[in-house]
């Protein structure tokens, strides 16, 4: 238990100091034009610092407990809503923060430094749910759900099924029309946030004979009869993030709860996941950085053979290599985010960012355990949790292989 206390106060201070040094570079009060990807607006700097502080001071101490309980604590969920972290791009008139996509990315990254589950909860809400609703929702849907999503309701995105993961369009969940109602039947799997979600954005096919062109997005309230939340998967990591099956047995949804147009669901899914993967990239770089910072602090203290283990050249070479990869991953994520904000094409860059960031996070956390030695392998130290948490990064929201397919397709198109 000493170990936890010691690494607690020392690394807290060190991580804060690190945050200070990095943030000092972000000052916008210089005379020369700073085109670095670290040139943030004043609001972005403030948001980043505030969330970083909030995460370290209020969330970090509860992380282990939430992992052991397999759930986000109610007070932490409340904290996220109260501080405006769940409605970052939602306009003020709906009770949201009214900030930008890049701000969401910075928030997800800062949360990732402390806990991957909290980070992904925030990411899904902001980059998938809120964005879908704001881009495609009718006034009825926006007025009904945006204020809730900003202040107290979690949303879940239901696409995957037991026989359709990467092959998302092979989904079997169907929606048959009855007058002005649709009846949804099917089973969704791997649904994050589902345990506490108040609303589900469900992809169901209204006309299977049309293939994927029948896929439609329905906004379904949790308490709709026939909707049941199934078992929570017992996962390797992100244990505080609920990943349940969601069952639809004759769930009746009025047609005014259709998001966007009938049969366009496949398009919406693809386009929103393009943005969402920048968010996952941010979560991954946050996880990697959080793990790295704590590990370096340790290597500068731990002595063997009469010197700090950081001072061995072998260690330094490994550390520098990993730091360089992490820096590159972060720049890919930031650049993809800025391109999207600017309305420029960003799909290739987003795929590269997610692919690279998730692979780098896995490598970084693995090396961090090596550098920590035996203690890195124990649960007394926070390092092994980062290693387990980031593994899913190469899998969800589009596996690495799918990202590579996407990148290749776009490269091919560039040469046409």
Tokens in use for 229? 């939340």
Q: Is 61 in the site for another protein (CB under 8 A)?
A: no
Phi, psi of 392, rounded to the nearest 5 degrees? -70, -15
Q: Is 301 in the site for another protein (CB under 8 A)?
A: no
Q: How far apart are CA 283 and CA 397, in angstroms?
A: 12
Q: How far is the CB of 107 from another protein (least distance, A)?
A: 8
Of the residues 3, 6, 42, 303, which one makes contact with another protein according to CB under 8 A: 42
Q: Which stretch binds another protein (CB under 8 A): 24-32, 108-116, 243-251, 314-322?
A: 24-32
3-state secondary structure 255-311: HHHEECCCCCHHHHHHHHHHHHHHHHHHHHHHHHHHHHHHHHHHHCCCEECCEEHHH
- Looking up tokens 């943005």, which residue turns up? 275
Q: Is 19 in the site for another protein (CB under 8 A)?
A: yes
Of the residues 2, 9, 24, 313, which one makes contact with another protein according to CB under 8 A: 24
Q: Which stretch binds another protein (CB under 8 A): 22-30, 221-229, 321-329, 402-410?
A: 22-30
Q: How far is the CB of 285 from another protein (least distance, A)?
A: 20
Q: Which stretch binds another protein (CB under 8 A): 89-97, 306-314, 343-351, 371-379?
A: 89-97
Of the residues 7, 59, 85, 244, which one makes contact with another protein according to CB under 8 A: 85
Question: Among residues 230, 323, 273, which one has the least CA distance to residue 128?
Answer: 273
Q: How far is the CB of 34 from another protein (least distance, A)?
A: 14
Q: Is 97 in the site for another protein (CB under 8 A)?
A: yes
Q: How far is the CB of 26 from another protein (least distance, A)?
A: 10
Q: How far apart are CA 159 and CA 156, in angstroms?
A: 10
Q: Is 47 in the site for another protein (CB under 8 A)?
A: yes
Q: Beta 154-158 vs 197-205: how paired, if at all?
A: parallel
Continuous segment of H or E residues that includes residue 221:
strand 215-221
Q: How far apart are CA 122 and CA 133, in angstroms?
A: 16
Q: Beta 243-254 vs 197-205: how paired, if at all?
A: unpaired
Q: Is 308 in the site for another protein (CB under 8 A)?
A: no
* CA 356 vs CA 136, 325, 334: distances in Å: 30, 9, 13
Q: Is 134 in the site for another protein (CB under 8 A)?
A: no
Looking at the DSSP assignment, which residues form a beta bridge with residue 216? 204
Of the residues 4, 6, 38, 43, which one makes contact with another protein according to CB under 8 A: 43
Of the residues 3, 4, 6, 25, which one makes contact with another protein according to CB under 8 A: 25
Q: Is 17 in the site for another protein (CB under 8 A)?
A: yes
Continuous segment of H or E residues that includes residue 352:
helix 347-372
Q: Is 105 in the site for another protein (CB under 8 A)?
A: no
Q: Is 21 in the site for another protein (CB under 8 A)?
A: yes
DSSP code string of 116-159: HHHHHHHHIIIIIIIHHHHHH--HHHHHHHHHHHHHT-EEEEE-
Give 80 or 124: the residue with its C-beta nearer to another protein: 80
Q: Return the SS3 of 383.
A: helix
**275 a catalytic residue:** no
Of the residues 3, 6, 8, 20, which one makes contact with another protein according to CB under 8 A: 20
Q: By CB under 8 A, how many residues form the interface with another protein? A: 33
Of the residues 4, 6, 8, 46, which one makes contact with another protein according to CB under 8 A: 46
Q: How far is the CB of 262 from another protein (least distance, A)?
A: 35
Q: Return the SS3 of 345.
A: coil
Q: Which of 89, 161, 397, 414 is catalytic?
A: 397
- Looking up tokens 């948490």, which residue turns up? 389
Continuous segment of H or E residues that includes residue 203:
strand 197-205
Q: Is 152 in the site for another protein (CB under 8 A)?
A: no
Q: Is 327 in the site for another protein (CB under 8 A)?
A: no
Q: How far is the CB of 56 from another protein (least distance, A)?
A: 10
Of the residues 4, 6, 8, 16, which one makes contact with another protein according to CB under 8 A: 16
Q: Is 75 in the site for another protein (CB under 8 A)?
A: no
- Sign of the alpha-carbon dihedral angle for 207, 208, 214, 215: positive
Q: Is 84 in the site for another protein (CB under 8 A)?
A: yes
Q: How far apart are CA 75 and CA 97, in angstroms?
A: 20
Name the residues annotated as catalytic. 397
Contact residues for another protein, defined by CB under 8 A: 13, 16-17, 19-21, 23-25, 27, 29, 42-43, 46-47, 50-51, 53-54, 58, 82-85, 88, 92, 95-99, 103, 107
């Amino acid at each position: 238990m000493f170990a936890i206390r010691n690494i607690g106060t020392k690394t807290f201070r060190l991580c804060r100091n690190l945050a200070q040094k990095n943030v000092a570079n972000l000052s916008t009060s210089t005379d020369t034009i700073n085109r670095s990807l670290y040139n943030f607006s004043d609001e972005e700097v403030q948001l980043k610092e505030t969330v970083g502080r909030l995460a370290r001071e209020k969330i970090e101490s509860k992380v282990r407990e939430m992992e052991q309980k397999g759930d986000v604590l109610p007070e932490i969920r409340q904290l996220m809503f109260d501080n405006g972290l769940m409605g970052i791009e939602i306009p003020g008139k709906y009770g949201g923060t009214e900030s930008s996509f890049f701000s969401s990315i910075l928030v997800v990254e800062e949360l990732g430094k402390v806990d991957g589950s909290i980070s992904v909860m925030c990411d899904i809400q902001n980059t998938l749910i809120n964005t879908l609703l704001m881009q495609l929702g009718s006034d009825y849907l926006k007025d009904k759900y945006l204020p809730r999503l900003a202040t107290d309701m979690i949303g879940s995105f239901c696409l995957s099924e037991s026989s359709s993961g990467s092959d998302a369009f092979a989904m079997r969940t169907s929606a048959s029309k009855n007058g002005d109602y649709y009846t949804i039947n099917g089973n969704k799997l791997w649904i994050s946030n589902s345990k506490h979600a108040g609303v589900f954005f469900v992809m169901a096919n209204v006309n299977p004979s049309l293939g994927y062109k029948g896929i439609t997005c329905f906004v379904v309230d949790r308490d709709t009869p026939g909707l049941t939340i199934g078992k929570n998967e017992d996962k390797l990591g992100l244990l505080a993030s609920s990943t349940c099956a969601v069952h639809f047995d004759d769930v009746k949804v009025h047609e005014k709860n259709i998001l966007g147009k009938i049969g366009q669901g496949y398009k919406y899914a693809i386009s929103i996941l393009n943005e969402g993967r920048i968010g996952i990239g941010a979560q991954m770089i946050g996880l990697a950085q959080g793990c790295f910072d704590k590990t370096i602090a340790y290597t500068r203290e731990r002595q063997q053979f009469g010197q700090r283990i950081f001072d061995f050249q072998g260690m330094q070479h490994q550390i520098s290599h990993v730091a360089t990869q992490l820096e590159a991953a972060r720049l890919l994520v930031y650049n993809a985010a800025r391109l999207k904000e600017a309305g420029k094409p960003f799909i290739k860059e987003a795929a590269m960012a997610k692919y690279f960031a998730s692979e780098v996070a896995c490598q970084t956390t693995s090396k961090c355990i090596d550098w920590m030695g035996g203690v890195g392998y124990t649960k007394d130290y926070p390092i092994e949790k980062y290693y387990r948490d980031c593994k899913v990064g190469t899998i969800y929201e589009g596996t690495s292989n799918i990202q590579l397919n996407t990148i290749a397709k776009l490269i091919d198109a560039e040469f046409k």
